[in-house]
Structure 1
């Protein structure tokens, strides 16, 4: 199993600027053996991660800085919003990141959901089924731009290209679709995705989504095993279970969202042994890449995961 890190917060825990801490942390994570690094594609911090007025680095700008400072980790947005960029421009930006990173880019993409951001930058927020059709169109357009000889023309339901020159061409950029919508998103995943990601779900919920995905693969004539399964889970580690939950609660106090009650699934919150056991449950379901998301980049969780968990699973 490979391990990833979801860098959702730009909390630094020292006096470094957020952008510098991002690069330093990415270098450290690569040195510690992480295989995959992601940033959120949002305009400001989400309420369940922090506050709107926190420092927040744009996704592809941040990934470009990380690409220059690392050598091995795969890099992606988790996930790119299908509507924040013209799709032809997105194809160029992602292929440029792939060139800068030496072929380490994954296009993580989703249909978008945060309507307040759409309003803030003055773009329409279509209904869910239309957003999914637009996402499908964008994936097809990007694939055409990357694989067909320039100049590339494409005519889709919503988007088009007319003699686009896109060079250099990437060798292979995997498509990651994020989300668990059973009728639309997982069907699109079965049709187009090389990777699939679902955040914040219990092993039982993940198993159910896998069953749905398998059915969509059968309908689409796609091999289920061709899709790499990934999961992103909030993780907090301490010596004692109670201390881990107290740390989680303290970290969540620095957000605009209510803390998830203890009787509900918070993620993997506990001792190194408990976290390792939880990861093994996801691995047994067929997860290829397990991604941790420590709230506020909690330093102790990162240290304990590297020192006490990674080699145990």
Structure 2
């Protein structure tokens, strides 16, 4: 299992900060570094990271398909894969409904059909050699008469499709080179997904997921940070797909309680609603030893686990962002980097 790092949560971290952290993560043994297209543009920062590193995989986790045409996403992916020496993992998804409809003013229409077409165009563009013509006509996306002007660095650039719902997961298994799942995923749910949806995927199909990680010698402080990470999926900009994931895994009472507390602007109550069972099953938190064990439980279930630093995230209380300063955010990555070194040096390796 490849263990990677994600830069999420904002907090004023500069592009150069992320580049320097990526270099250190590579030295610590991380398999990759990923960035969500949310608080920073994905391709710009990832390009800077690619130029400063040599080994780690890089990619958006994930690129919002409603913000980019598949043709020009494919062209940009070919360029970045060439620059990085064939290290790009291209994660794409239909995006958060609020981001699309409220922030961008773009309606979400037939997301399954859209992503089927989107992945098909990406595959055709990223695998077209110099002079090859790409024609495709789908119900949501089409391209006619485009000719590739360069030959890609490789003809199998992986396109992984973000999925949390059963229908999108089945689509990922059918059309993509991997599935990019979010956080709050227990091993029982992942095993069920493997049996019911991913049982006949092609060899090399990537099963990727992220996990909220909080590492601290003070166990309770780590668990408090993990609780805040869960609540942040409801406060500020809601993430309905994570609410759905909680419910799919049997935590309906927790989801209901967090939803009610956030609606009442009672963040403390929302934190209390995150049960010990949810922390133990769906996050990785606690002492360094506990976090190593938490990572180990995903071995054999995932091909890629991406660590999300919960201790340094900025959180929402209504309309107000609160949490760490930029300097504190950078410092909060130290335990994560140490954790990566422990994993790389341990008996399981990366």
Q: One fold, TM greater than 0.5? A: yes
RMSD (Å), alpha carbons: 2.4
Query: Which of the residues 246, 253, 275 maps onto 2:291?
Result: 275
The 1:93/1:242 distance shift into structure 2, 3 A limit, reads same
Asked if residue 204 in structure 1 is aligned to residue 211 in structure 2, the reply is: no
Deviations 1:256-289 (A, max 9, x none): 465462424231011222122222221033x222
Q: CA deviation at 1:62?
A: 1.1
Which residue among 301, 305, 321 is the counterpart of 1:290? Answer: 305
* Matched residue, 1:106: 89
Contact map agreement 1:150 1:166 (CA 8 A) in 2: yes
Q: Deviations over 1:118-168 (max 9, x none)?
A: 332221222xxx111111101111111222343322222221212223332
Structure 1 contact 37–76 (Cα < 8 Å) conserved: yes
SS of corresponding position for 1:34: coil
Q: Do the aligned residues in 2 keep the contact of 1:268 with 1:275 (CA within 8 Å)?
A: yes
Distance 2:228 2:157 in 1: 39
Work out whether residues 178 and 197 of structure 1, in 8 Å CA contact, stay in contact via their aligned partners in 2: yes
Corresponding position of 2:207: 229
Q: Secondary structure at the match of 1:41?
A: coil
Q: 1:71 aligns with which of 54, 70, 73?
A: 54
| Paired residues for 1:35-114 under 5 Å | 35-42=31-38, 56-114=39-97
Give the match's secondary structure for 1:226: coil
Tell me, yes or no, if structure 1 residue 11 matches structure 2 residue 11: yes
TM-score, normalisation: structure 1: 0.82
Residue 213 of structure 1 aligns with which residue?
A: 197
Secondary structure in 2 matching 1:153: strand
Check whether the contact 2:214–2:284 (CA below 8 A) recurs between aligned residues.
Answer: yes
- Displacement of 1:7 after TM fit? 1.1
Paired residues, what number?
285
Structure 2 residue aligned with 1:168, among 150, 173, 178?
A: 150
Distance 1:157 1:125 in 2: 14
Deviation at 1:248, TM superposition (A): 4.0
Equivalent pair of 1:2/1:290 in contact (CA under 8 Å)? yes
Partner of 2:22: 26
Residue pair 1:146, 1:166 contacting (<8 A) in 2 also = no
Alpha carbons 1:112, 1:131 under 8 Å: kept? no
Q: 1:111 and 1:121 mapped to 2: Cα distance? A: 13
Asked if 2 retains the 8 angstrom alpha-carbon contact of 1:237 and 1:300, the reply is: no
Distance 1:114 1:246 in 2: 28
TM-score by length of 2: 0.74
1:265 matched to which residue of 2? 278
1:210, CA displacement in angstroms?
1.8
The answer for the alignment partner of 1:136 in structure 2 is: 116
1:145 is matched with 125
Instruction: Confirm whether residue 244 of structure 1 aligns to residue 222 of structure 2.
Output: yes
| Aligned pairs (5 A) from 1:176-195 | 176-182=160-166, 184-195=167-178
Note the alpha carbon deviations across 1:11-65, whole angstroms, 9 max, x for none. Answer: 36xxxx61111111111111211111111122xxxxxxxxxxxxx3211111111
Indicate the residue corresponding to 2:315 in structure 1. Answer: none
Q: Deviations over 1:180-202 (max 9, x none)?
A: 311x2121121122222322211
1:308 Cα offset (Å): 3.2
Q: CA deviation at 1:293?
A: 0.6
Which of residues 332, 337, 340 in structure 2 aligns to 1:306?
A: 340
**1:46 equivalent in structure 2:** none
CA distance in 2, matches of 1:76, 1:231: 14
* Ranges in structure 2 where 5+ consecutive residues have no aligned partner: 237-269, 313-328
